[in-house]
Amino acid sequence: MITLEKLDYREALRYMGFQDGKADPNTLSMLEECEKSVLENSVPRYRYGVFDISETENGIVVGNTDLILQGNAIRKHLENCFAVVLMCATISGKIDALIRRTQLEDMSKAIIINSFSSVAVEQLCDKAETEIYSSLGKLYENCYKTWRFSPGYDDLPLSHQKTILDILDTPRKIGVCTNESHTLTPIKSVTAIIGLSHTPVAVSKRGCVCCRLKNTCPYRKAGHHCAE
């Protein structure tokens, strides 16, 4: 079981729009308390599966499933890959309740808690990915992996979320569902696709080229990116 013991303050401040850790004294004074609240209410869990893939005119077919990954971005992302890891991670509905409750009490704290919650689920994904990669076995021990690519990035349909959840049985196993607009619940949850290749994967800034927010992202305008 994965536990989260410390959250990245610098990353949380970036989610709030502050660069280089420079925030007003009032915000800085609340960081420790808000981090503690997020850690106390987080219940980190994840599910994953490994599937062979094949390329067709209609998209990337995920073996033994009904999932066909559509769009030029995911096709490029999985170029030279022979398999994918489908993953879903969440820090639980307790965080949703914490955010809602804090919004009624103190909006400034709610913003900080929301940011720390985003950091928490990303750190969970990083740890989960490490665990997954180390457990793949001899068949995959010498393979290379891509960075995480989520439905909604660029032209990969957000509607793929539901199919991924169904494949991984997340509603029953870890309580992650999707609504009619394909938004995940709990809100601090992530679905992701990681490509596996026998050849080295080109290094890039964590999806900036593929991200649909690349032209408006405040991090890129400031010379940063999400992987820093």
Contact 80, 50 (CB under 8 A): no
With bands split at pLDDT 50, 70 and 90, how would you rate the model's confidence at 220?
very low
If one counts every other C-beta atom within 10 angstroms of the C-beta of residue 164, the result is 25
* pLDDT band, very low/low/confident/very high, at 71 (cuts 50, 70, 90): very high
Q: How confident is residue 221, by pLDDT bands cut at 50, 70 and 90?
A: very low
pLDDT at residue 208 in the model? 54
pLDDT tens track for 167-206: 999 999 999 999 999 999 999 999 999 999 999 988 653 4
The least confident of 3-12, 44-53, 134-143 is: 134-143
Please measure the distance between the N-terminal and C-terminal CA atoms of the chain and give it in whole angstroms: 26
Token pair, residue 107, equals: 């909006």
Name residues whose C-beta falls within 8 Å of residue 21's C-beta, 6 or more positions apart in sequence: 9, 10, 13
Based on its alpha-carbon atoms, the radius of gyration of the chain, rounded to whole angstroms, reads 18
pLDDT of amino acid 222? 44
The three-state DSSP-derived secondary structure of the chain is CCCCCCCCHHHHHHHCCCCCCCCCHHHHHHHHHHHHHHHHHCCCEEEEEEEEEEEECCEEEECCCCCEECCHHHHHHCCCEEEEEEEEEECCHHHHHHHHHHHHHCHHHHHHHHHHHHHHHHHHHHHHHHHHHHCCCHHHCCCEECCCECCCCCCCCCCHHHHHHHHHCHHHHCCCEECCCCCEECCCEEEEEEEEECCCCCCCCCCCCCCCCCCCCHHHHCCCCCCC
pTM of the full structure: 0.89
- Residues with Cβ < 8 Å from 17, sequence gap 6 or more? 218
Average pLDDT over every residue of 70-79: 95
pLDDT computed for residue 211 by the predictor: 53
What are the structural domains, with CATH classification, of the chain? 9-221 (3.40.109.40)
Nearest C-alpha neighbor of 71 from the set 154, 189, 4:
154
The answer for residues whose C-beta is within 8 angstroms of residue 50's C-beta and 6 or more apart is 83, 84, 85, 86, 136, 140, 196
Quote the pLDDT of residue 137. 79
> Does 224 or 75 have the greater pLDDT score?
75
Using the predicted structure, report yes or no on whether residue 108 has a pLDDT greater than 90: yes
d(CA 57, CA 80): 16
